[in-house]
Structure 1
Amino acid sequence: MLDEIKEQPHILSRLLRRFFRDDFSINCDIPLSDEEIRGISDITVVASGSSKNVGDVAASYLRRFLNIPVRVEFSSEFCADNSFISKTSFVVAISQSGETTDTYEALEAAAEKTKYTLALTNNSESRLHKASSYQIMVEADKEKSIAATKTVTAQLLCLMAFGLFLASKRNVEKLSLEKTVAELRKLPEGIESILENCGDIQKTAEKINKSSGILFVSKGSCVNALREGALKLKETSYIMTEVLPSGEALHGHFALLDNTRTLVSAILDGVFYDTEVENTLYMKEKSGANLVVIKNAQNKEIEDKFEKDRTYFINIPGAEEYVEVFYIIVVCQLLAYYISRSLGFDINHPRYLSKVVK
């Protein structure tokens, strides 16, 4: 798992070169006419597990890029209700292996209603890849660890590139697209800096590894990035986790916290910074829980706002939110790895779980 976490800067660099040309044009190799792209009314992502979390993280950015409705559905539920799909809908099915049964069945159900289906997989020989109208290969190389890591960030970048490709054909302002691409190109260097300074993450993991439960909170898309982190902890360390917007956590949910549990809060610079600090302070003071704050590295002042007792800080580079979500995911991958290792579990082969890799 750790080796695959460390591969991410290289894999993302390769994908960035593939999708984004020097002139900032975007290449997804999807044979759609401009007229067809402008006629897309909505997008639905169907996926399971980590791939579902990827869809949730990307959805808000796709809405902003395209200004159309974007929804994310569990593959296993899509067949029960897909009444919202029309002939102008675009359905994206995400699966690392391309062999996930419920995702394949969801794609088949979608194909009965729309000709616009896309498979996002790491396996060009998979039935999902072959059954879809369009394909984007993740190209993350073989992932052996059952807990997905490098395929997660690769899927996320592919999905964002797909959204930007559509946006470039829908008369979205060119300067806005160029800025977004320029920011995404910072990803490999930013993740490298996290990997080079993961000692603090390891120390934090060893401080909270006996937690009876962990509550993850933040704002916006960072909540969905933390949801992927929570899944990694469940898979590798068997710790009960919950993920909520920090404002919603105050409505009863944080009563679960006590001094045997941990609160993980991603508090990043931005318009909601003060609110996130206030909400996190309140939950920490009321519950006495361990506190882990994921923060921007350049923000030193935040450390003075919290009592030092059982409070730990993890730094990520400052960036646009659509880049910071990648950093949060990588931090949580490392946190899960080091917690699992400190508890002596089989990190690469968690109990009850299996994986299709071809």
Structure 2
Amino acid sequence: QIRPQDLSQLPHVRLIGCGTALHAAQIGQILVEQWARIPAVSHVASEFNANDPVINPKALHLAISQSGETADTLSAVKEIQRKGADVYGIVNVVGSSIARQCGKGVYIHSGPEQSVASTKAFTNMVGALALFSLQLGRSRHLSKTKGKSIAREMRKVPEKIRSYLDNPGPIQTAVDLIIQSKSVLFLGRGISSPVASEGALKLMEIAYIPCLAYPAGEMKHGPIALIEENSPVVVIAPNDGVQDRTLNAIHECKARGAKIILIHEEGDPISEVGDVSIAIPSTIPMLTPLLTVLPTQLIAYHAALALDNDVDRPRNLAKSVTVE
């Protein structure tokens, strides 16, 4: 437990993770800054110690890992502790090395993940970070009314996930485009940018298709050179306040012959610009990753099946990365 008075005086928050946990950390960074209005930064755990990081003992450090055994994350935890700061773990496996080393934090209770590629743990990591960010916000400047409104929307998310999974939309159409291509570009802006990275990671992990994930605004600084006729581009574009600028990137891609696989909220007119449009239930902007990630996971799963890959045991990968 963190005392409310300690939460209210935090100078900043650091979040550390690898792979899927890193993408959850990147979302957590945005949630902390949006709801608590406190500086936050996410770090790639495997690079953390290489830069001799400056550690403020008064700051809050969060280590995120599904297995709790990720060697790079555990090494970062020990480095932070060596420099005099506490670290809180956000892990799935009870009694794991990171949980024991931290000695404090939360379990996300996703249950065992049989597949190497993490899916439900990502959802629970983001959910835990959302709850923490809400608590942190309420200890600072977030009003009680706003906090209750966010909490109400959180409680609706599980049913919205079930609703989407019952009717996931034209996933197979998207898969048919993707498996005929040599590579896939994923784009997102704001809190959807880490979702694009997570979607690309899943497709690479189990379908073995080269993918590049980029913030939508960065596309014009290089990745647009990769687009040719019929190139599949997966765009995460909820109605989140930055959608207009994401739409500009979509038009740039379409002008160069790309096929747009668009993930958007139900009833949004932006669906018309997608060659394949996949609708998710609507929610508040900061909770959209819990829903927009679902189509990307299903696309990866069905692409892997179509290519006759072992979805649960992809080549060259291990469930717990226990070496640095």
Question: Considering the TM-score relative to the shorter chain, is it more than 0.5?
Answer: yes
Structure 2 residue 183 is matched with structure 1 residue 213: yes
Task: Name the counterpart of 2:77.
Answer: 107
CA contact (8 A) 2:184 2:232 kept: yes
TM-superposed deviation, 1:90? 1.1
CA contact (8 A) 1:62 1:70 kept: yes
Is the partner of 2:88 in helix, strand or coil?
strand
Is the partner of 2:170 in helix, strand or coil?
helix
Task: Name the counterpart of 2:170.
Answer: 200
Write the distance in 2 (CA, Å) between the matches of 1:283 and 1:203.
Answer: 19
Identity within the alignment, %: 27
- Stretches of structure 1 that go unaligned for 5 or more consecutive residues are 1-29
Matches within 5 A, 1:1-358: 30=1, 32-259=2-229, 261-286=231-256, 288-299=257-268, 301-305=269-273, 311-356=275-320
Write the distance in 2 (CA, Å) between the matches of 1:328 and 1:176.
Answer: 23
Is the partner of 1:186 in helix, strand or coil?
helix
- Stretches of structure 2 that go unaligned for 5 or more consecutive residues are none
CA contact (8 A) 2:12 2:38 kept: yes
Q: Which amino acid aligns with 1:324?
A: T
CA 175–342 in structure 1, closer or farther in 2 if over 3 Å, else same: same
Identify the range of structure 1 (270-279 vs 124-133) with the bigger mean alpha-carbon deviation. 270-279
Write the distance in 2 (CA, Å) between the matches of 1:105 and 1:224.
Answer: 24
CA contact (8 A) 2:207 2:307 kept: yes
TM-superposed deviation, 1:319? 1.5
Tell me the TM-score normalised to structure 1 length.
Answer: 0.85
Instruction: Work out the number of aligned pairs and report it.
Output: 321
Is the partner of 2:38 in helix, strand or coil?
coil
Q: Deviations over 1:181-236 (max 9, x none)?
A: 11111111211122111251123212321211111112101011111111000101
Write the distance in 2 (CA, Å) between the matches of 1:270 and 1:152.
Answer: 21
Q: Deviations over 1:10-68 (max 9, x none)?
A: xxxxxxxxxxxxxxxxxxxx1x2232222221111111010001001121111122222
Write the distance in 2 (CA, Å) between the matches of 1:54 and 1:93.
Answer: 11
CA contact (8 A) 2:172 2:299 kept: yes
Write the distance in 1 (CA, Å) between the matches of 2:33 and 2:240.
Answer: 20
Tell me the TM-score normalised to structure 2 length.
Answer: 0.94
TM-superposed deviation, 1:293? 1.0
Write the distance in 1 (CA, Å) between the matches of 2:18 and 2:237.
Answer: 27
CA contact (8 A) 1:88 1:114 kept: no
Pairwise CA RMSD: 1.7
